[in-house]
Amino acid sequence: MAVQKSDSGCFTHPAFFYGSEQEYLDRLAPFISGGLAAGQPVFVAVPTDKLALLRGELGGGLALLELADITEAGRNPASMLGHLLAFADKFAGQPVRLIGEPVWPGRSPDEYLACLQHEALVNTAFAGRDVTAVCPYDVRGLSAEVLDDARMTHPVLWKTGGADHRSRTYSPDLVWDKANQPLTTSPTAIVCIVRTVQDLTRLRAFAADYAGWLGLSANAKADLLLVVNELALTSLRRGGAPCRLGLWRQDGRIICEARDRAGLGDRLAGRRPYLQDDAGRGLFVVNALTDLVRIHTTATATTVQAHLGWAA
């Protein structure tokens, strides 16, 4: 089935399966240069080695081209949409091209589930906008299950050596459900219960004590205090009180978990640019400050786990 038009107005969201650096360049370099030649702004967020590859092909001094290393800018998959939307917003009203490669070989299982949620939400976030957002997938290092998931989150598939076509299995809501898995609390978690905003001072003191026990640097402690404050406040604002805020160490990270009694509602909360997302601003800040944010939500409860790098 050849592609004529995307499912969401003029938004196009293809997955590009590539098997070599050459295939990568052959498809993406013309996509970038073609866009720029047509006066279309292009934002590229790909892993470090792919970024170097594209840079070598494209050269420099391209005014409408913005490049980012996704292993930094999109380390936390939940923060990726904010970058993409912010770039598109800068050029609102004109066609924009995006390349985002949030899934790369080596992503942890937890990170991958967060990537799935991101990919499922891209379609909603850009619906109706004149944007083409290509997501490259390296078939050499990714499992068949990952590629199957990509077919479910992308309405269009680009394949080297064949015609672009619609995905027969496109169903992002199913993928969201798949990634919306219950999250487990560590038995080693220390816990603080937050019922009202008046409890926030006590919560930060609790987190400051924890930072002290771990010997965190002043900067890491400041991050931790802001994250716990925002997780708890987000719960309270959604009507989820009491919020059970837990902290524990896991695999070289500090996990901050907020469990409450209200559904998340807006799946895009915290993923839009800050000023466009009043209700999601707390989660936006958490997404920006942390390495990973995992969310499980039902109609009556939400758990958010934010992973912070542990810098002593």
Partner 1 sequence: MLSRTASNHFGLSYRDPGEFLRNAAGFAADGLRNNHRLAYVGDGAAAELHAELSTMPGVAEHLDSDAVQVIPAIEFYVLRRGEVVDAEATLDRYIDGVQRATADGYAGLRALVDVTPVARTGKQRAAMARLEYLGDKETTMRPFSALCGYDAARLGPGADELICLHPRVSNSRVSFRLYTDPATEADLVLAGEIDAASSQLFAHTMQRIWEFAPGHTVSIDATGLEFISHRQLLLLQQSAWAHNRKAVLWTGQPILHRLAGLLELTRIDVREAP
List the one residue out of 16, 10, 11 whose CA is nearest residue 101.
Answer: 16
Instruction: Please answer whether residues 302 and 295 qualify as being in contact, where contact means their C-beta atoms are separated by less than 8 angstroms.
Output: yes
Nearer to partner 1, 299 or 312 (CB): 312
Nearer to partner 1, 132 or 234 (CB): 234
Nearer to partner 1, 103 or 225 (CB): 225
Q: Is 197 in the site for partner 1 (CB under 8 A)?
A: yes
Q: What residues from 85 to 124 belong to the interface with partner 1 (CB under 8 A)?
A: none
Task: Kindly provide the residue ranges of all beta strands, DSSP E only, lying in 63-118, ordered along the sequence.
Answer: 65-69, 96-100
Nearer to partner 1, 188 or 201 (CB): 201
Instruction: Please answer whether residues 271 and 81 qualify as being in contact, where contact means their C-beta atoms are separated by less than 8 angstroms.
Output: yes
Residue from 78, 255, 284, 297 in contact with partner 1 (CB under 8 A): 284
List the one residue out of 11, 59, 51, 69 whose CA is nearest residue 33.
Answer: 59
Residue from 219, 251, 252, 312 in contact with partner 1 (CB under 8 A): 219
Residue from 101, 149, 223, 257 in contact with partner 1 (CB under 8 A): 223
CB of 230 to partner 1, least distance (A): 7
Q: Is 311 in the site for partner 1 (CB under 8 A)?
A: no
CB of 274 to partner 1, least distance (A): 6
Instruction: Please answer whether residues 156 and 14 qualify as being in contact, where contact means their C-beta atoms are separated by less than 8 angstroms.
Output: yes
CB of 312 to partner 1, least distance (A): 16
Residue from 80, 152, 225, 295 in contact with partner 1 (CB under 8 A): 225
Q: Is 181 in the site for partner 1 (CB under 8 A)?
A: no
Instruction: Find the part of the chain contacting partner 1 (CB under 8 A) among 26-34, 48-56, 61-69, 218-226.
Output: 218-226
Query: 129: how many CB neighbours lie within 10 A of its CB?
Result: 19
- What is the distance between the alpha carbons of residues 311 and 238, in angstroms, rounded to a whole number? 31
Instruction: Please answer whether residues 7 and 167 qualify as being in contact, where contact means their C-beta atoms are separated by less than 8 angstroms.
Output: no
Count of residues binding partner 1 (CB under 8 A)?
23
Instruction: Please answer whether residues 3 and 166 qualify as being in contact, where contact means their C-beta atoms are separated by less than 8 angstroms.
Output: yes
User: How many Cα atoms within 13 Å fall on the side-chain side of residue 103?
Assistant: 32
Q: Is 307 in the site for partner 1 (CB under 8 A)?
A: no
Nearer to partner 1, 38 or 311 (CB): 311
Note every long-range contact of 116-119, with CB atoms under 8 Å and residues 24 or more positions apart, other chains counting.
116/149, 116/153, 116/175, 116/176, 116/178, 116/179, 117/77, 117/78, 117/176, 117/179, 117/180, 117/267, 117/295, 118/77, 118/78, 118/80, 118/81, 118/271, 119/149, 119/150, 119/153, 119/154, 119/172, 119/175
Site mask, partner 1, residues 252-281, x = CB under 8 A? ----------------------xx-----x
Residue from 12, 117, 167, 229 in contact with partner 1 (CB under 8 A): 229
CB of 233 to partner 1, least distance (A): 5
Query: 146: how many CB neighbours lie within 10 A of its CB?
Result: 18
> Residue 184 has what DSSP assignment?
P
Binding site for partner 1 (CB under 8 A): 197-198, 200-201, 204, 218-219, 222-223, 225-226, 229-230, 233, 236, 274-275, 281-282, 284-285, 288-289
